Amino acid sequence: MNSGAADAFELAWRLIYAIKYNHENSPGLLKSYELERYPVMIKMRDESLRHSRIYNIWSKQFNVNLLDNNDNYTINKEEAKLHKEEMKKSVESWKNRGENDSLGIEIGYRYCTGKDDNSNFSKLTTQSPLCISGANLNVIDKDDMNEPEWNRLNYIPSTYPGCRPPSVWLQTDSSINIFDSFDGIHFILLRFDQNINIDKFLNIAHERNLPLKVKDINAIEEPHVTKLYEKKLVMVRPDMIVCWRSNIELDNDIIINNVLENILGYGTEALKCLDKYKNMRNSELLKLKMLKEKRMKGFGGENKIQSGFSSKDRKRGSRL
């Protein structure tokens, strides 16, 4: 259930917008569900597998003979003490840190490329078609062309489109968290500069049947929040994922419609992302099919005499 709740919520808000707000004809709204969630699931699965391997190593390293039934040291206290120090170093090693320390996986997952030093994590990742950045809509904020760093162990706060926004308490009222502004139904536009006119943006959003609320944050009174959120305008989806941000006041109807179309999965950039993911996914499925056929061949194909497997083993293999 590492991803179960998020999986359900991601599907729920899409269904609400498709049915209640009449966006059922959006080619990308529902189709983007797998594109966003599948890579996150792969990361969590691989991380769980890594943990199980680490625990298996620890179980083999641990010498139970150095302890009695009451966890007291045996006669060879020096050897037991040395063994304890070795186990401590192994557990504290950054390579062996357990699931409680994988904050990048648990709260730092994102719906963008998720670049890191482990290529297995990024095989099927691409920028979400519903999250607009300079990387896939270069007419806006070209300084957003480069995605921020990500790694599995550390949570790095960012409002880059596709990321979960940072949770932070307001300085003017310590009982209020900025997450209190997110209701799970509306898109929320956070504005950190009240001099930016957003009337045209709101009017076009209303015309496109996009439920949108504005939350003004005083940058002078809330410098910490303003710094963490990086841009003057930050738009957050119902699932609390940043879908767009900018420092620019939008007064061009074409650009505003372009942003809103992609956020709802209608735009050309959204369709390009979906096509890219589809090709990547088909390639991956083909590799899995070839791997399965190779395994099946070993279980009972041309090499069944040499394989040495029983009929029971071959039946088990057919279910792989």
The residues with which 216 forms a beta bridge, in sequence order, are 191
State mean pLDDT over 44-53: 83
Decide if pLDDT at 238 tops 90: yes
pLDDT digits (tens, 9 = 90+) for 203-229: 999 999 999 999 999 999 999 999 999
Q: Which residues of 103-121 are buried (b: 16+ CB within 10 A; e: fewer)?
A: ebbeebbbbbbbbbeeeeb
What pLDDT shows up at residue 143?
A: 63
pLDDT digits (tens, 9 = 90+) for 139-184: 556 667 778 888 888 888 999 999 999 999 999 998 999 999 999 9
Token pair 């990048």 is at which residue?
A: 104
Decide if pLDDT at 301 tops 90: no
pLDDT digits (tens, 9 = 90+) for 15-41: 999 999 988 888 889 988 988 898 888
State mean pLDDT over 249-273: 84
What pLDDT shows up at residue 245?
A: 92
Residues contacting residue 201 through CB under 8 Å, at least 6 positions apart: 189, 250, 256
When pLDDT is cut at 50, 70 and 90, the band that residue 97 belongs to is: low
What pLDDT shows up at residue 302?
A: 47
Percent residues over pLDDT 90 in the chain: 33
Decide if pLDDT at 259 tops 50: yes
Decide if pLDDT at 99 tops 80: no
Decide if pLDDT at 186 tops 80: yes
Which helix (H) or strand (E) segment holds residue 235: the answer is: strand 233-236
pTM of the full structure: 0.78
State mean pLDDT over 114-127: 50
Domain boundaries, the chain: 4-54+102-273, 62-99
CATH 1.10.10.10 applies to domain 4-54+102-273: no
